[in-house]
Homo-oligomer: A and B are copies of this chain.
Amino acid sequence: MIGNFTYCNPTKLYFGKDALEGLNEELPKYGKNILLVYGGGSIKRNGIYEKVVAVLKAQGKQIFEDGGVMPNPTIEKVREGVERARAANADLILAVGGGSVCDYAKAVSVSVHCHEDVWEKYFIRFEDVSCEVVPVGCVLTMVGTGSEMNGGSVITNHAQKLKIGHVFGANVFPKFSVLNPEFTFTLPKYQMISGIYDIMSHILEQYFSGTDDNTSDYLAEGLLRSLIHSAEIAVEDPLDYEARSNIMWTATWALNTLIAKGKTEDWMVHMLGQSVGAHTDATHGMTLSAVTMPYYRYLLPYATAKFARYAENVWGVDRTGKTEMQVAREGLERMEAWMRKLGLVMDLTELGATREMLDGMVKSTLIMKGGYKVMDEEDIRAVLSASF
């Protein structure tokens, strides 16, 4: 751990089958007006909405509804949410859903008392929050983004064909999050494995960077091994509580700043995937899986030692009698086989992307500079072309 850094993560987590009872401890800390944010209504069908509303009412809260948050929340929806929060004079924004709902809640929370244009300020100019923030709490129903314990928020601007993430500071982190693995049981398999791959990608974006010896990389390897093990069980039996709970906990620690401490980060898989997402509106995790193998194979010559370490420590590849490059390649082969077995999308065509979109996707891919090779437009084109 070579660099200077600070660490502070104040989010309180309630985990387990009884986690929702945490609301009774948290809600009294806030005023009466609750903006209740959720997605397309699945929480009404599976009973979670009713359970949450019952607790809110028992706590004497006034509920202001803000449903219909879409999987890739748009800037138009954020602007609408800001108006709702202002009209409600919201004391707390309670997000009930997955990462999109949490991300949306955070984007609203920093904008209610801000009179600049939200998209321009946070997602184009990447400015810090300079106004009062409405506190956010989460009840998680979908696992993957880690949004329940970080300051991240990814918002889509369809007019500009951009999907951009901003990382807000610790005062925008959810004050509390309720993590009940059973709340994720009803999720369709496609969403579940997409979330699992999102988690894996978060860990890898932070792992494939840096050249120093760093405890963060050892923690990342531990999370990866746990995830690989539990994902295989969950795909066979989505009602396996133990596996689903490990996946949920891994997701939280995969992206709550811990495993990035003291090192650089890559994030190009996410930049590629988000560009695909902006053009196709495809499920986030699947956009990541579809571009991963072409990107990592492209990166291999620039980071052979790290990919070999990955192969050995995460995928159990035996180094005996092999070159470093052979070990590294074998690790990626095992990873690819695992991804295919899990049922992840490995081709952009399957996500509705066409070769006609290639120019646009290349243009809207943001270039990050923390990885083993700083990509240029031609690199991006090569990787995206190989993803079809």
A130 at the binding interface (Cβ < 8 Å): no
Question: Does A225 contact B230, Cβ atoms closer than 8 Å?
Answer: no
Question: Does B2 contact A241, Cβ atoms closer than 8 Å?
Answer: yes
Quickly give the copy total for this chain: 2
Question: Does B2 contact A8, Cβ atoms closer than 8 Å?
Answer: no
Q: Which of chain B's residues have a CB closer than 8 A to the CB of A4?
A: 15-19
Q: Mark A232-269, 1 if CB is under 8 A from B, else 0.
A: 00000000011101101110010000100110000000
Question: Does B12 contact A16, Cβ atoms closer than 8 Å?
Answer: no
Given A219-B223, A242-B212, A262-B245, A1:B13 Cβ within 8 A: no
Question: Does B253 contact A219, Cβ atoms closer than 8 Å?
Answer: yes
Given A1-B15, A1-B242, A242-B212, A249:B223 Cβ within 8 A: no
Q: Which of chain B's residues have a CB closer than 8 A to the CB of A15?
A: 1, 4-7, 261-262
Question: Does A8 contact B1, Cβ atoms closer than 8 Å?
Answer: no
A14 at the binding interface (Cβ < 8 Å): yes
Question: Does B245 contact A2, Cβ atoms closer than 8 Å?
Answer: yes
A205 at the binding interface (Cβ < 8 Å): no
356-381 of chain A: CB within 8 A of chain B? none
Minimum Cβ distance to chain B for residue A375 (Å)? 28
Question: Does B6 contact A12, Cβ atoms closer than 8 Å?
Answer: yes
A218 at the binding interface (Cβ < 8 Å): yes
